Amino acid sequence: MTRAEDLHQCRELLGRLSRELTLAEERERRRLAEHLHDHVGQTLALLRRKLTSLRDRTMFSGLEADLNEAVDLATRAVASVRGMTFDLSPPVLYELGLAPALDWLAERHDKQDGVRVRFLDHSQAIAVEPELRVLVYASVRELVLNSLKHAHARRVEVELRQKEGGLEALVRDDGQGFHPAGLDPRARSGFGLFSIRERLAGLGGRFELDSAPGAGTQASLWIPLREERP
């Protein structure tokens, strides 16, 4: 076996391991989200109903202020658990598909982080098989978080479209930018980008970065299109 063949095999193995790790992480995220919803969330919702009922039955008892505060705390806890459930693994990804999930992701960060995040869907509602759907969503989520946490962007745009017989996802920001050639794969953001590249390469896809200091960043990922199997 030549050195080139050996390197090719190593890269294929690295890509496969990266994909399997991403899928395993997403499965664990979904399991935790379901546990939060089915157990913690339901218990807190029941507690809120009990507290509300108790408050209504003890009007003019002198305990109204304390019970109102308890109901309010329970209400905020229910909302917090619901938010964590969706952040871990949005049900919309599995129930409605990739484009609705990316739309939810953009809206979530737009409201939560005070940054203008927009989603543009030009995919023509194409169906993508579950494994690819999860990998693309996880990759875009990583890119959006990089734009918000590392690039300190004020505007982020996510676009999904068909291109060259495949599916392309773009993430553009107006952040501080960087030199892609000098990216350190040992850093958290650098390792995340390296992982995206490897997991896509093993699927016959590609990952490209266009960035410069002070000029923002555009990241594009493309995968060959495989329609969802029945």
Q: Is residue 230 part of a domain?
A: no
Co-location of 210 and 139 in the same domain: yes
pTM for this prediction: 0.75
Domain co-membership, 121 together with 206: yes
Same domain as 114, residue 204: yes
Within this chain, do residues 98 and 143 fall inside the same structural domain, yes or no?
Answer: yes
Q: How many domains does the chain have?
A: 2
Write out pLDDT tens, residues 73-104.
Answer: 888 888 888 888 877 888 899 888 999 999 99
Taking only the tens place, the pLDDT of each residue in 45-63 is 898 888 888 888 877 777 7
Note the pLDDT of residue 195.
82
User: What range defines the domain where residue 168 resides?
Assistant: 91-224
Q: pLDDT digit string (tens) for 180-200?
A: 876 655 455 556 788 888 888
Q: Which of 91, 82, 80, 81 is nearest to 26 (CA)?
A: 91
pLDDT category of residue 15 using cuts at 50, 70 and 90: low
Same domain, 124 and 209: yes
Residues 143 and 205 in one domain: yes
Q: Which one has a higher pLDDT value, 121 or 39?
A: 121
pLDDT band at 229 (very low <50, low <70, confident <90, very high): very low
